[in-house]
Structure formats: C-alpha cells, structure tokens
Amino acid sequence: MALKNDLLLRTLRGEQMERTPVWMMRQAGRYLPEYMVLREKYGFFERCQTPELACEITIQPVDIVGVDAAILFSDILVVPQAMGLEVQLIESKGPVLPDPIKTAKDLQRVRVPDVNETLSYVFDAIKLIKQELNERVPLIGFAGAPWTLLCYMVQGKGSKTFDEAKAFCYTQPELAHQLLQMITDTTIAYLKGQVAAGADTIQIFDSWGGLLSPGDFENISLQYIRQIVAALKDEVPVIIFAKGAWHSLDAMAATGAHGLGIDWCIQPQLARQFAGNAVTLQGNFDPAKLLSPIPVIEKEVKEMLAAFGPGNHIANLGHGILPNVPVDHARAFVDTVKNYRRQ
C-alpha cells in the first residue's frame, strides 16, 4: 500500500512539491494535554518501552495538529542504556547517568549490544505505529549522534557547555574515539533495525554539535555521523540535524544525507549557499516564537517560507517545541505552512 501523504519523502528525494511539508521536533510531547494524561500515569521509560503507549503518543500530533509526518516517541538515551549504562530521566530536571565514563576501566562496562535483544521494544513500537498510521503519513525514526551521546555518557547529566565531555576528548583522545566508534556501531545497527521495522526516513540528532569548532566537529562528530549516513542512505532518506554547526553544512551535505536541519540563528539563504542545491533544508522557526499571538505566527511563518524560496524545504522548528506552547499556536504554525502558496 502506498503512503497517502508522501510529501516529506518526495521532498527529501529532491522532487519539486506542490507545497512544503511540515512537522515539528518534539511534536509528540508535553504541549499536548492528551500526552500529559499519559505522563501522569506512566514513567518516562515505561512510556518509551511499552509499544502501545509509544504508538499512541507518536500518533497524537498527527491527529491533533495535522503534521505531515509522525516521529517515533522515544529518546536518544535508549542507546547508552542498551550499551550498559544506567540512565535516569527525572521529570522537569532532565537526564542523569549516575555512573558516567571517565577512565579506560569505565569503558569496560560499556558494550556494543545485540540491538534485537536490548532495543526490540523500539522495533515493536515502530511495527505497531506503522499498522495504526495505516499509511496516512510517513514515520520518522531517529537516534542521537555519537558525539551528543558521548556528552551524556561522560558528563553524566545535561549541560550548556559539556566541558567534561570535551576535556575527555582532548585529554584521552584514544579512549574517546574508541567510545565514539562503539556508539557508532550500535547506532548503525539500531537504525537499520528501525528501518527493517518500517521507519520511512531517519533523523540523526546532534544536539551538541554546535559546541565544537569546525575542526573538532569533523574529528569528534562528523566522521562518525558520516559512517551512519553511509550505512543507511541507500535504504531510506537520512536527515542530519546538528544544532548550531551551520559552519559545516557543506561537509554535512557531502555525506550524501538527503536533508539538513538548521536552527533560527542562520538565514535560509546563507544555509542554502553553504549546503548547495542538492540537499533539502529543514527548519528553522524559533520554537519560542510559537508563544507569539497567532497573527504574528502566521506572518512570520510566511516570511520564513518566502526566505527558503522555491528550493527543497521541510518546514520545522529550529529545535524542539516548548512545553508551554498552546496547541492552537502549534496548529497555526502547521496550518500556515499547509495553506501557503508561493507567489
């Protein structure tokens, strides 16, 4: 059976579309009252690891907000968890990894797992989501980029600067590259499993890529993302979102990725100049702007779409939607994109 709405996939393949497809990072989550009902009843990992719950949460924004794609409800930290580290997600505080990697001895506690044993609940969720979506829209699978996962595995918690993770890479480079390769190998197997289960496209989230200089971004992050893209790009379209790493859009485009996510800190015209014309750009509305009055959202979304111009573009936010955004404001964002026609 063919997808009823394949705008996202066709845009990623470089086809000219009648309109711009739209979805939002973190669209399955805390701004939706329906999600909050489930959050009151079930812990975070219980929601991720129970296919029926992950399925319901994944599909909520398709039904409620009308996005052109579903994205799997999960978390990037299921990979460190599968590799043997304890991960706690404390509501409203963020992730805590109580026994982070600091030394060669610590690295012995981490393994490249059999993803079919450790992450089978994700694959089961994807199969169920595909069944329940009934080909309405494509399903996006995802994983964290190796550098971003290393940040949490070494720092042990969230940070604005991840100085400890950087120091680990600079003072113990051999150990860091060993860990990055283990994360990469796990992630490739994990994403291939997602595709086998039915994911239509994949996004790699490098949330902390922008903390690195261009040279370090290549050495510590992009050389590993490149391996992941190479392993998957002939099976499904791949999107890289390295927040803040716009200085390397040309290098990211050269990986063969189909799409590149950008945030609101770079102008679409400049991003296109860096990335070239062969790749689809995704973004780049500031999530905080969804708190503006609806007429302002409508006006600014139209300005964003005009700035991206006629080249291949997927409308999205420049980062995840904020929990305090009213649902009708999120819907206004989506509807404005859907109703926009270039002059």
Active site residues: 26, 30, 39, 75, 152
The residue type found at 209 is G
Element (H, E) at 46: helix 44-49
Answer whether 136's CB lies under 8 Å from 211's CB. Answer: no
HSE at residue 99, side-chain half, CA atoms within 13 A, is 12
Sign of CA pseudo-dihedral 127, 132, 138, 144: negative
Answer whether 266's CB lies under 8 Å from 287's CB. Answer: no
Token pair of 294 as six digits: 């609806």
| Cα pseudo-dihedral 248, 112, 203, 101, rounded to 10 | -60
Strand partners, 239: 203, 259
**How many angstroms separate the first and last alpha carbons of the chain?**
34
Residues 120-136 as b/e (b if ≥16 CB within 10 A, e otherwise) read ebbbbbbebbbeebeeb
